[in-house]
Structure 1
Amino acid sequence: MASNRKIEEGLEHVKNAEKSLKTGLLKWRPDYENAADEFNKAATCFRNAKSYQQCKDCLLKAADCHKQNRGLFYAAKALDQCISICKEMGDLRDIYSMAERAAHMFQSQGSPDSASSILEKAAKILESNVPMEALNLYKHAAEIAQIQDNQRQAAEFTSKVARLHVKLLQYDQAADAIRREIGIHQANESIQALGRLVVALVLVQLARGDIVAAEKAFKEWGTITSLRPKVLGLSKFTRIVEMYSRKLQGQERFIKQIVVAVLRTVQPNRVAVIFEGMHLCMTMRGVQKIIVTR
């Protein structure tokens, strides 16, 4: 069987790793680098053989060897692989602690993006079965993003924190998380994102049974976000077209001017312009085609 051969190959790599860790009269210090490499090779063999527990054990030993050798980045990568193996095994018990350890190692090596990424990865795995642990991982990821002044990512993680609080019926904490996210978007002047958040905050306050707080939230933030929809009548679109068509125009510039005018006035999510014009050079002379449009 191919799986048996892979297991035997993996065990051979484990023996080589253990030899590298032994010390003697002429070898005072274990060869952690070679041991880590052998443990990684063994983990690959065990994974191919679907012997996931042995694979996990080897990855943990590889991480420890990298740590002893001061290769914290590679130790964190080994823990990252270990989290994936735990997911395949359906064993969620150690994922939280491994994600926190790996994130700390990535940060110490100047890789905050990798730290946030592994925390998010672990949180997604734990979200359905262990929401409280996922919640704490998202909080940690949001803190790292804010320290790095990555406001977009901080807002994304804070939004996931708020969603999990609502799922756990922790409405007070959910309201606090939504306010933090509002503060992040307000600092970045992301007005369009604020409207959705204000509605969410109002709904959370209503879920708490606090009508006064819901009304206060709407009054406080509703004026900033301009929640009242802006509507343009059909005649206004005609006036916009006439305003920009009074002078000699190019088709591309003309369309762009209309789009910009509508965006600034109504602030919709999207604008589409269908442009149709008559080619006078073809209708007045030459082939004199009556209906030639573009």
Structure 2
Amino acid sequence: MGDQMARAEEYEKKAEKKLNSWGLFGSKYEDAADLFDKAANSFKLAKSWDRAGSTYVKLANCHIKLESKHETAQAYVDAAHCYKKTNAKEAISCLEQAVNMFCDIGRLSMAARYYKEIAELYESEQNIEQAIVYFEKAADMFLNEEVTTSANQCKQKVAQYAAELEQYQKAIEIFEEIAKQSLNNNLLKYGVKGHLLNAGICQLCKSDVVAITNALERYQDMDPTFSGTREYRLLADIAASLDEEDIGKFTDVVKEFDSMTPLDSWRDDPSVRVKEKLKAKELEGDDLT
């Protein structure tokens, strides 16, 4: 690694010297770019991630001078992937630069891909609000490029985080929209019952039995096969337990479903909130007696 570090610093020094030398406008930036690329690769081999990232940024600046937007964008992506190991903030900054370049040259599917990567970085930093913003941007751009599966993956993330933030109506609208879109797609239609279950759980979190009953009717109209699924039965049974304020019944139906089809971690959280509301109602009833 020491050898790679020394080699990297030598390439970087030569590149800086080349930039400061006299020469034809294009050639010195081309020569410097080649040296910065070699330096960055050597820094990577030495696992010096910050130095590799900053060197890729210098490479990007050379490509800007050469008006090579695609190469500039790729250099920013390479910088970001180095910074991801040490500095999420710098990685996000570099990816945003890359996205701007890809948008300029019409590579929108690449821009969408890196919007999604920015969202995932914010996600890893527990910055849920910003993660939602970038998952939404990625979803919109994937839709523009008709990459439906990737768009839906990003939308699901938005809906899940909206539910965690108790923005239930937003989550419901997204899950229902995905379900509608999936019905007409042979590859995606098998996931419809899961999307409707997600929407239904968010409906339950609003503790409005009339709303969930109406929603279940709409879901049957949307997908006539839904009423025969375990997902439908779970939602109907939970709605009944809410109506009857029966916490024991609620616990039993969730436990039975989870024993055969484990609930996702995000789904567990809203169902816990439903249970807490049932407990609160039960306590209110005890106080009145």
Q: TM-score, normalised by structure 1?
A: 0.68
Aligned to 1:225: 223
Q: Higher RCO, 1 or 2 (CA under 8 Å, sep at least 6)?
A: 2
- Identify the residue that residue 4 of structure 1 maps to in structure 2: 2
2:116 alignment partner AA: E
Is the Cα contact below 8 Å between 1:155 and 1:184 reproduced in 2?
no
Contact 1:83–1:122 (CA under 8 A) maintained in structure 2: no
Matching of residue 37 in structure 1 with residue 65 in structure 2: no
**TM-score scaled by length of structure 2:** 0.69
The answer on 1:56 being equivalent to 2:79 is no
| Counterpart Cα distance in 2 of 1:199 and 1:62 | 49
Spell out structure 1 runs of 4+ moving beyond 6 A.
none
- Give how far 1:88 is off: 1.6
Paired AA for residue 127 in structure 1: E
**Rg comparison, structure with higher value:** 1
Matching residue within 128, 142, 145 for 2:124: 128
The number of residue pairs the alignment matches comes to 226
CA–CA separation in structure 1 for the residues paired with 2:68 and 2:208: 52
Please say if 1:96 is aligned against 2:70: no
SS, match of residue 42 in structure 1:
helix
Report SS of the residue matched to 1:88: coil
Once the two structures are aligned, what percentage of the paired residues are identical? 24
Shift of 1:210: 3.5
Q: Which runs of 5+ in 2 are unaligned?
A: 230-289
The equivalent residue for 1:264 is none
Alignment-derived partner of residue 192 in structure 2: 194
Which residue in 1 is equivalent to 2:78?
Answer: 81
CA distance in 2, matches of 1:67, 1:183: 44
- Give, in angstroms, the shift of residue 42 of structure 1: 1.0
* 1:72-92 per-position Cα deviation (integer Å, ceiling 9, x unaligned): 222222222222222222x21
Superposed displacement of residue 188, structure 1: 4.1
Q: Which has the higher helix share?
A: 2
Over aligned residue pairs, what C-alpha RMSD do you find? Answer: 2.5
In structure 1, runs of 5+ residues without a counterpart are 231-294
Q: Partners in 1 of 2:11 and 2:61 — Cα distance?
A: 16
Match of 2:14 among 3, 7, 16: 16
Q: Which residue of 1 aligns with 2:207?
A: 209
Pairwise CA distance, 1:127 = 1.7
SS in 2 for 1:9: helix
Asked whether the equivalents of residues 26 and 66 of structure 2 are also in contact (C-alpha less than 8 Å), the reply is no
1:205–1:97 Cα change, 3 Å: farther
- Rounded Cα–Cα distance in structure 2 between residues aligned with 1:19 and 1:115: 34
